[in-house]
């Protein structure tokens, strides 16, 4: 049975459908009923059979164009962005047409940004194919591209009209990409979703083996957590910031590594342990809670060792974070009751100590 979760409010409300195979005519066609042309944006790493399935579903009813870009974060660029816009213009797309983002977070972000800005906004659908995109980037309406000064510096908040999550796509996902998404799932468990936390403690083996019912459960719980937060704070003016738990340190690790050799989720996982340690040194959680957190992460086969990263090496990246206001870094920490909060009241020595 497919799970349906509603996200957002008012005109920008949309449904997220989660199933082994959510990409069916029944799920997709009603959302496109008034559309004439569809541009599907995908990348060279997405298995061709998935694209064929999508074409088969759309066959007959619409004019469908597939635009494939090179896989990898490098493609989330201004030059790819303008090429996609030119393609839309050459094909004479108007507001009665739509786009489909068919891939991981890279594809979702750039396609969403094209949809947000072409003709001041045309509709788009997210069909995420990585775990990270399924539990995180496809929901919440953040779209972006990178410029040489930094990642995601150009973008907008723009909701899709629908998100279709098929867990079967995860079968072909490389192990390191699966683990990357798992880092974000752990995040929801740590920032307040106790049901998810308990489930993950008890079912780490099934999760590691990608059992379908386990996947559906953790994706559903992750989306429920994200949906609740982004619906109450669409443009990150407050509570939404807790979704960045572990990200200040994770981003610093990614930047230090020049975005090579470590996935976003793996870096965020280490960042969450650092933030967990600061929470402990600040007296917000007890030592057994810190141990439980690290044990959970280890039981899922994720790396917990960040000894190669020294505070002095990461410092400049940490202080570059968007969460610095008036010279002081706002930290997202966790407390004893298992929820996250944002604070600039902490002893800076504990920040350094977390790296010792
Ligand atoms: N908008 C948001 O809220 C948000 C949140 C988190 C991350 N992001 C962004 O997401 C991006 C990272 O996303 P990602 O981790 O999904 O990486 P990605 O989109 O680069 O995909 C990783 C790799 O997996 C391949 N792939 C995708 N699906 C596959 C499948 N089913 N089988 C086999 N291979 C497959 C892709 O071709 C690619 O090579 C970054 O750009 C990041 O900034 C956005």
pLDDT in tens, 133-187: 999 999 999 999 999 988 899 999 999 999 999 999 999 999 999 999 999 999 9
Q: Which domains does the chain have, with CATH numbers?
A: 3-172 (3.40.50.1970), 175-353 (1.20.1090.10)
Distance of CA 130 from the midpoint of ligand 1 (Å): 6
Q: What is the pLDDT of residue 149?
A: 85
Ligand 1 in contact with 140 (CB < 6 A)?
Answer: yes
Q: CA-CA distances (angstroms) from residue 15 to 5, 41, 159, 220?
A: 6, 20, 11, 12
Q: In ligand 1, which atom is closest to the CA atom of 143?
A: 1
Closest CA to 21 of 222, 156, 149, 212: 212
Closest CA to 179 of 264, 259, 247: 264
Distance of CA 27 from the midpoint of ligand 1 (Å): 23
Q: In ligand 1, which atom is closest to the CA atom of 265?
A: 15
Burial pattern 260-290, b for ≥16 Cβ within 10 A else e, equals eebbbbbbbbbbbbbbbbbbbbbebbeeebb
pLDDT in tens, 174-207: 999 999 999 999 999 999 999 999 999 999 999 9
Parallel, antiparallel or unpaired: strands 324-325 and 328-329: antiparallel
Q: CA-CA distances (angstroms) from residue 93 to 64, 85, 177, 194?
A: 12, 10, 34, 45
Angle between helical axes of 78-90 and 105-117 (0-180°, round to 10): 50
Ligand 1 in contact with 279 (CB < 6 A)?
Answer: no
- Which residue from 133, 140, 151, 181 has its CB within 8 A of the most atoms of ligand 1, so it is best to mutate? 133
pLDDT in tens, the chain (356 residues): 899 999 999 888 999 999 999 999 999 999 998 899 999 999 999 999 999 999 999 988 789 999 999 999 999 999 999 999 999 999 999 999 999 999 999 999 999 999 999 999 999 999 999 999 999 999 999 999 999 988 899 999 999 999 999 999 999 999 999 999 999 999 999 999 999 999 999 999 999 999 999 999 999 999 999 999 999 888 888 889 999 999 999 999 999 999 999 999 999 999 999 999 999 999 999 999 999 999 999 999 999 999 999 999 999 999 876 666 666 789 999 999 999 999 999 999 999 999 98
Distance of CA 106 from the midpoint of ligand 1 (Å): 5
Q: What is the pLDDT of residue 11?
A: 87
- Minimum CA distance residue for ligand 1 atom 2: 137
User: Could you give the CA distance from residue 54 to residue 39 in angstroms, rounded to a whole number?
Assistant: 12
DSSP 3-state assignment of 290?
Answer: helix
User: Could you give the CA distance from residue 136 to residue 188 in angstroms, rounded to a whole number?
Assistant: 10
Q: What is the pLDDT of residue 61?
A: 73
Backbone angles phi, psi at 353, to 5 degrees: -60, -30
CB 282 within 8 A of CB 335: no
Q: What is the pLDDT of residue 321?
A: 65
Q: What is the pLDDT of residue 217?
A: 97
Q: In ligand 1, which atom is closest to the CA atom of 133?
A: 16
Q: CA-CA distances (angstroms) from residue 151 to 37, 101, 106, 281?
A: 31, 19, 11, 31
Distance of CA 142 from the midpoint of ligand 1 (Å): 14
DSSP, residue by residue, 109-141: HHHHHHHHHGGG--EEEEEE-SHHIIIIITSS-
- Which residue from 41, 43, 45 has its CB within 8 A of the most atoms of ligand 1, so it is best to mutate? 45
pTM recorded for the entire structure = 0.96
Other C-beta atoms closer than 10 Å to the C-beta of 190 total 26
**65: number of CA atoms within 13 Å, CB side?**
16
Ligand 1 in contact with 105 (CB < 6 A)?
Answer: yes
CB 76 within 8 A of CB 146: yes
Q: What is the pLDDT of residue 322?
A: 62
Ligand 1 in contact with 104 (CB < 6 A)?
Answer: yes
- Minimum CA distance residue for ligand 1 atom 9: 105
pLDDT in tens, 249-265: 999 999 999 999 999 99
């Amino acid at each position: 049975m497919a799970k349906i979760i509603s996200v957002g409010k008012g005109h920008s409300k949309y449904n997220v459908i989660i199933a082994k195979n959510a990409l069916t005519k029944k799920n997709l066609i009603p959302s496109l009923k008034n559309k004439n042309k569809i541009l599907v944006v995908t990348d060279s790493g997405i298995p061709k059979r998935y694209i064929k399935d999508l074409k088969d579903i759309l066959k007959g009813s619409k004019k469908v164009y597939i635009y494939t870009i090179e896989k990898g974060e490098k493609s989330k660029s201004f030059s790819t962005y303008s090429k996609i816009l030119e393609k839309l213009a050459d094909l004479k797309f108007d507001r009665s047409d739509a786009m489909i983002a068919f891939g991981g977070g890279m594809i979702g972000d750039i396609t969403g940004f094209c949809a947000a800005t072409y003709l001041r906004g045309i509709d788009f659908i997210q069909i995420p194919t990585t775990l990270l995109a399924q539990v995180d980037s496809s929901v919440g309406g953040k779209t972006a591209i990178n410029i040489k000064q930094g990642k995601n510096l150009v973008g907008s908040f723009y909701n899709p009209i629908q998100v279709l999550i098929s867990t079967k796509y995860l079968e072909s996902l490389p192990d390191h990409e699966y683990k990357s998404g798992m880092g974000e799932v752990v995040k929801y468990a740590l920032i307040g979703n106790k049901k998810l936390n308990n489930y993950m403690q008890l079912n780490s083996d099934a999760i590691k083996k990608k059992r379908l019912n386990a996947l559906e459960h953790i994706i559903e719980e992750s989306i429920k957590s994200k949906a609740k937060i982004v619906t109450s704070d669409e443009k990150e003016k407050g509570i939404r910031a807790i979704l960045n738990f572990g990200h200040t340190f994770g981003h610093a690790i990614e930047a230090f590594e020049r975005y090579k050799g470590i996935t976003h989720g793996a870096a965020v996982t280490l960042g969450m342990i650092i933030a967990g340690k600061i929470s402990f040194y600040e007296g917000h959680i007890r030592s057994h809670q810190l141990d439980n957190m690290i044990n959970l992460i280890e039981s899922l086969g994720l790396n917990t060792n960040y000894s190669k990263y020294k505070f002095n090496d990461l410092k400049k990246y940490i202080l570059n974070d968007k969460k610095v206001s008036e010279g002081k870094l706002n930290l997202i920490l966790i407390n004893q009751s298992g929820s996250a909060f944002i604070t600039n009241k902490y002893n800076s020595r504990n920040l350094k100590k977390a790296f010792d």
